[in-house]
Structure formats: C-alpha cells, structure tokens
C-alpha cells in the first residue's frame, strides 16, 4: 500500500494535465458544499450561509496547501481525506434533506471521489510502474553490447529511466540477478543504485549475488545498490568489499559506506583502518567520501596520517581531499573556522597545514591576524612563506619580507619558487618567472636561475626593478590538483 508513502516520487512524473486534475480533486469538496446550497432544500435559513462559508474556507486552505507544498500533498492522502470527511460530515449530520436525490448524489461523490483517487494512485505506483519496468528490462535483455566500466553503464539512458521506475519497488529487476549474462546482472543492479527502500529479503538477495560472483562489475553495482541500507547486518556485509581485489569495487564500497559518514563512521572506523592498510590498495588514493566527515573521523585520520606505510599515505590524501572540499565547496563560516583551527594546530602534519593554508589563501580566507601567527620561526618554512604572501597581499610588512629572506636562504628549490612568486607579485622585483604560465619544474634550468635570483635578493645583491607585465596570473607552485 502506498497511500501515505513516497508521494513525491510519483508526483514528479505526472503531466501538467494530471496535476491540474489533482488540484481539481482537492477543490472538489468545497464545490460540493457550495452546490448543495443550490440543489438541496434546507429548513434553517442560516445553514446555506454556513455551508458557503465552510466551502470558501476549504477552497482557501486548498490554495495555501498547493502554494506551500505543491500538488504532491494532494496525493499524500491526509489533506484529501480530511477535506472530504469534513464535507461529508457537514452535509450528512447538519440538517440533512434525505428526500432530495441531489443530496444523495452529493454524499456519494464525497465518498467515491477519494476512493477513486486511492485506486488511481495504487495503479500508478504499482501496476503502472511494473509494466514500465518490464518494458525497459526487455530492452536491456535484448541489448548485445555493454561497456566494461561501471561508470559507463550508469550513463546508458535505459538504465537511468529504469532507476526512476524501480524506486517504489525493485522486485521486477531482482528476478534477473540469476541471468547467465553477468553484464545483464550488472545492468539491473546499476539501475538499483542508491535504492532508497528494500522490502523483506530483497537486500539479502543482492548481498548473495555480490558474494557469489567472480565479476567485479557485478560486485561494484551490487554494493552501490545497497548504499542506503540501514540495518547493521547489511552494512556489515558491505565492509569486506572495502578490501576487494578490484579497485573499482573498493571505490564503490567506499562511496556506498561513507556517503553518510556522519552516522556510520563510529561503526566502521576499525574496518576503514584495515582497508587503508591493504598493500594492494596503496594506489587507490583518498577515500571517496562524498559527504562531510564528522569530527571523530578527522581525529582518526589525523592519527593514522602519522603512521608509516599505506595507512599514513592514504589517510593524508583523504584529509587533503576533505580540506579542499570543505574550503572550496562548502566555504561556510563554520567550515572555514574548522580549517583555521586545524591550520593553527601544531599537532597536525605540516603537509596538511600547508595545504590548508594554500587553499585558504587562494579563496581569500586566510586573514592577516591568522597569518601573522604563522610567521614565527617554529612554523614550517613553506607555511611561513604562504603566511608572508597573505600579509603582503594586504599591506607592506617588514616581518613578512624577513620571512621571505630566511626562506630564500634554504637549499630548497620548491620553497625558493614559492618565495619568488610572492616577491615578484607583491614586492615588484623581477625574479624571472614566466607570466601567466605554469611555474618551471624544480629540476629545470629556469628553476635554477630563479633560485639564484632569490638567493641574491635575500643577500641584498639583487637590484629592484619594476615588473613590466602584471604577475597576477602566476600560480603558486606545487599544490594545485
């Protein structure tokens, strides 16, 4: 039964004419009340005015519901049943005229209209979708050529249409899990990607298919189909796929399990630590967390980032990815405040702090009052250089210039190139950097010449010369993805 469930999923597929019909159904009780005044004789003179007033009130309420929540609420049942119940009660128990045939007609319409709407919704949500699903599945079975990658299968138009049809009930697709062609199995499972609800034993059938197949494509599609499961035993069945032999399956498992990291992390943290430590997954990079990581996850990743081997490498990559998304995609004051706290925390790895500072500076979120705290000599050199750039972008500052001179004296070309960008851009000294192009490789001849000029500038041997062309297009080296 779908009377009170998921009305929005059905509503967004309705045509404009169907939506207009639903609005008419919601207004129909008010019309019945007003029309009863014209066709039914009442013994009390005040009763017609009361019925008209009630009808107008119901019509105004209907318009408020449609304006506020849209026509989807018409199909949800609660407003529809309430309006028709009020109309029936007012007509049946307030001075009824049982001798009038029109009175009985109006009462029958009050009872039969919601029943008809109920039947229409049930047929649309069950029988209609099943017929469409069978039609689309027939086309999928007849298809002969299939892509070899899960991402390519997702983009097939028939798969996208089938995914919408199966949102209410995945049963038509589950019968094809035992199809002899594994590409057909992967296709129907891809159509169930992020399936919002499962009926009894349906999720278990998908888990069984994933555990007993040799095809990585089928396993990846099955894991993505189960991304929205809520039972602990179902989530536990997905955990082993984080360490699967196939990189595609491991990525799918990471997306399926960590899209809701806020609520799942505490239950999965030990399994995630084990998955990060797998030697065969060392080249997978950062965890594919599509959602925001909770505070406990950040603390765990910071702890794991300090370890050696695959765990430390992938935990660091995950943190860097999280910082980039938080600053560049979220950008809210709360998110920036969290990043600034990590930036100032000396317990955080220098590479992560440098990345945060770089991203904050690129988005103009590195405030001078924060940057000035990073100029001290106990901070990592690259972090001090970025902070000096943030200070000089606002105003001239002798402390920032001193930091650049100290950094230029260190035998590190990457630091020298970073300092050269700031010197040329904000101090107007030509360091020989290309205008508007990528910075040279640290091992190139041009980088060696830039380093030589930076060292001479730090020693006071390099003359001041204005830059002929603007340097705003010079990128900061080494950190952009």
User: Chunked in runs of 10, what are the mean pLDDT values of the chain (481 residues)?
Assistant: 34 57 77 71 60 78 72 60 81 69 79 78 62 83 86 88 85 89 92 90 93 94 94 93 94 93 92 93 87 88 91 93 88 89 90 91 89 91 92 88 90 89 87 75 87 88 46 39 39
Quote the pLDDT of residue 46: 57
User: What is the separation of C-alpha 10 from the centre of its chain, rounded to a whole number of angstroms?
Assistant: 22
Predicted structure pTM score = 0.66
Q: Let me know whether 188 and 205 are in one domain.
A: yes
Quote the pLDDT of residue 6: 34
Q: What's 241's domain CATH number? A: 1.25.10.10
Q: Let me know whether 187 and 64 are in one domain.
A: no
Q: Let me know whether 50 and 134 are in one domain.
A: yes
Domain boundary among 259, 281, 296: 259
Quote the pLDDT of residue 470: 37
User: What is the separation of C-alpha 340 from the centre of its chain, rounded to a whole number of angstroms?
Assistant: 24
CA contacts within 13 A on the Cβ side of 55: 19
Q: Let me know whether 205 and 117 are in one domain.
A: no
Phi, psi of 348 (to 5 degrees): -75, 145
Radius of gyration over alpha carbons of the chain, in Å?
33
Quote the pLDDT of residue 97: 65
CA contacts within 13 A on the Cβ side of 8: 2
Quickly count: other Cβ atoms within 10 Å of residue 141's Cβ: 13
As a whole number of angstroms, the distance between CA 95 and CA 188 comes to 59
Q: How many residues are present in the chain?
A: 481
Query: Is 356 domain-assigned?
Result: no
Q: Let me know whether 107 and 178 are in one domain.
A: no
Quote the pLDDT of residue 122: 66
Q: Let me know whether 212 and 153 are in one domain.
A: yes
Q: Let me know whether 106 and 63 are in one domain.
A: yes
Q: Let me know whether 12 and 129 are in one domain.
A: yes
User: What is the separation of C-alpha 258 from the centre of its chain, rounded to a whole number of angstroms?
Assistant: 11
Q: Are 479 and 354 in contact (CB under 8 A)?
A: yes
As a whole number of angstroms, the distance between CA 288 and CA 345 comes to 25
Kindly list the distances between the CA atom of residue 225 and the CA atoms of 124, 163, 180, 193, in Å, as whole numbers in the listed order: 24, 10, 20, 4
Quote the pLDDT of residue 76: 54
Q: Let me know whether 119 and 158 are in one domain.
A: no
Query: Is 218 domain-assigned?
Result: yes
H helices within 277-349, ranges in order?
Answer: 295-305, 309-325, 333-344
The candidate with the shortest Cα–Cα distance to 186, out of 226, 146, 245, is 146
What the block records as the tokens of 159 is: 């798969």
Query: Is 220 domain-assigned?
Result: yes
Query: Is 97 domain-assigned?
Result: yes
Query: Is 419 domain-assigned?
Result: no
Structural domain including 198 reads: 146-259
Q: Which residues contact 170 (CB under 8 A, 6 or more apart)?
A: 192, 195, 198, 199, 202
Query: Is 326 domain-assigned?
Result: no
Q: Let me know whether 237 and 171 are in one domain.
A: yes
Query: Is 223 domain-assigned?
Result: yes
Kindly list the distances between the CA atom of residue 128 and the CA atoms of 35, 135, 383, in Å, as whole numbers in the listed order: 35, 11, 62
Quote the pLDDT of residue 237: 94
Helix (H, G, I), strand (E, B) or coil at 407: helix
Q: Let me know whether 171 and 55 are in one domain.
A: no
Quote the pLDDT of residue 171: 87
Q: Let me know whether 129 and 153 are in one domain.
A: no
Query: Is 106 domain-assigned?
Result: yes
The candidate with the shortest Cα–Cα distance to 286, out of 317, 246, 324, is 317
Number of domains composing the chain = 2
Domain boundary among 139, 159, 177: 139
Domain boundary among 240, 259, 278: 259
Quote the pLDDT of residue 436: 63
């Amino acid at each position: 039964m779908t009377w009170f469930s998921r009305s929005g999923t059905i509503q967004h597929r309705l045509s404009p004419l169907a939506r207009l019909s639903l609005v008419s159904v919601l207004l129909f009780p008010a019309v019945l009340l007003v029309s009863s005044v014209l066709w039914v004789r009442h013994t009390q003179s005040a009763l017609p005015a009361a019925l008209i007033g009630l009808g107008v009130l119901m019509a105004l309420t209907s318009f408020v519901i449609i304006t506020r929540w849209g026509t989807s609420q018409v199909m949800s049942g609660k407003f529809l049943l309430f309006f028709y119940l009020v109309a029936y009660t007012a007509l049946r128990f307030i001075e009824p005229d049982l001798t009038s045939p029109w009175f009985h007609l109006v009462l029958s319409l009050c009872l039969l209209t919601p029943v008809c709407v109920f039947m229409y919704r049930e047929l649309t949500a069950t029988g209609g979708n099943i017929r469409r699903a069978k039609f689309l599945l027939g086309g999928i079975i007849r298809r002969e050529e299939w892509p070899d990658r899960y991402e390519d299968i997702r983009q097939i138009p028939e798969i996208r249409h089938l995914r919408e049809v199966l949102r209410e009930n995945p049963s038509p697709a589950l019968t094809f899990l035992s199809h002899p062609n594994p590409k057909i199995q992967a296709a129907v499972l891809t159509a169930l990607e992020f399936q919002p609800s499962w009926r009894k034993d349906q999720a278990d059938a998908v888990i069984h298919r994933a555990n007993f197949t040799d095809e990585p494509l089928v396993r990846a599609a099955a894991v993505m189909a189960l991304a929205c499961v809520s039972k602990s035993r179902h989530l536990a069945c997905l955990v082993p796929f984080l360490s699967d032999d196939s990189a595609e399956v491991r990525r799918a498992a990471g997306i399926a399990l960590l899209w809701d990291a806020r609520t799942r992390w505490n239950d999965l943290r030990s399994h995630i630590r084990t998955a990060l430590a797998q030697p065969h997954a060392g080249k997978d990079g950062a965890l594919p967390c599509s959602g925001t990581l909770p505070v406990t996850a950040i603390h765990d990743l910071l702890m794991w980032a300090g370890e050696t081997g695959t765990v430390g490498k992938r935990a660091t990559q995950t943190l860097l990815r999280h910082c980039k998304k938080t600053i560049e995609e979220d950008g809210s004051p709360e998110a920036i405040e969290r990043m600034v706290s990590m930036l100032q925390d000396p317990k955080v790895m220098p590479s992560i702090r440098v990345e945060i500072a770089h991203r904050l500076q690129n988005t103009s979120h590195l405030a001078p009052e924060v940057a000035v705290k990073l100029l001290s000599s106990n901070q990592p050199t690259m972090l001090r250089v970025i902070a000096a750039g943030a200070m000089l972008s606002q105003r001239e500052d002798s402390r920032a210039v001193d930091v650049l001179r100290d950094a230029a004296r260190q035998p590190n070309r990457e630091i020298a190139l970073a300092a050269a960008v700031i010197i040329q851009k904000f101090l107007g000294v030509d360091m020989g950097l290309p205008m508007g192009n990528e910075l040279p490789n640290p091992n190139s001849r041009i980088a060696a010449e830039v380093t030589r000029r930076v060292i001479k500038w730090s020693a006071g041997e390099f003359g001041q010369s204005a830059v002929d062309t603007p340097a705003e297009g010079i990128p900061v080296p080494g950190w952009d993805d």
